[in-house]
Amino acid sequence: MTYVKIDPKASRHIAEQFGPKATRFFAEQIAAKARMLADARAKRSSVSDRINVEHGNRPQDARVVMSVRGGDGSEVAAHLEWGYVNARSGKRIPGKHILRDATFGV
């Protein structure tokens, strides 16, 4: 998950009034980039058809959330994003860094 935030010096009332409107455009851009990166980087992954990227408003800003369901129904988005160690083979599987790269524009 990543957040698109407004200046923390803004008062809470101003942030609640204008924050979601001001950050929604950037959240939509990040979500679109994340979907594109997920399609390109996870083509051969067993979870490629179960990657879901959504954006939405919070009270003061916007958020982008990537959720990925594993074969057993568990949430494996963190494994896809940051990598993991395969329990059977002991091999390190590198992460795809989808949200990180969509947010920071690599």
User: According to the model, what pLDDT value does residue 1 have?
Assistant: 67
Question: Rounded to two decimals, what is the model's pTM?
Answer: 0.76
Q: Is the pLDDT of residue 72 over 70?
A: yes
- pLDDT range class, residue 101, cuts 50, 70, 90: very high
3-state SS track over the chain: CEEECCCCCCCHHHHHHHHHHHHHHHHHHHHHHHHHHHHHHCCCCCCHHHEEEEEEECCCCEEEEEEEECCCCCECHHHHHHEEECCCCCCEEECCCHHHHHHHCC
Instruction: Please write the tens of the pLDDT for every residue from 5-30.
Output: 777 666 677 777 777 788 888 889 99
Q: Is the pLDDT of residue 31 over 90?
A: yes
User: According to the model, what pLDDT value does residue 85 have?
Assistant: 93
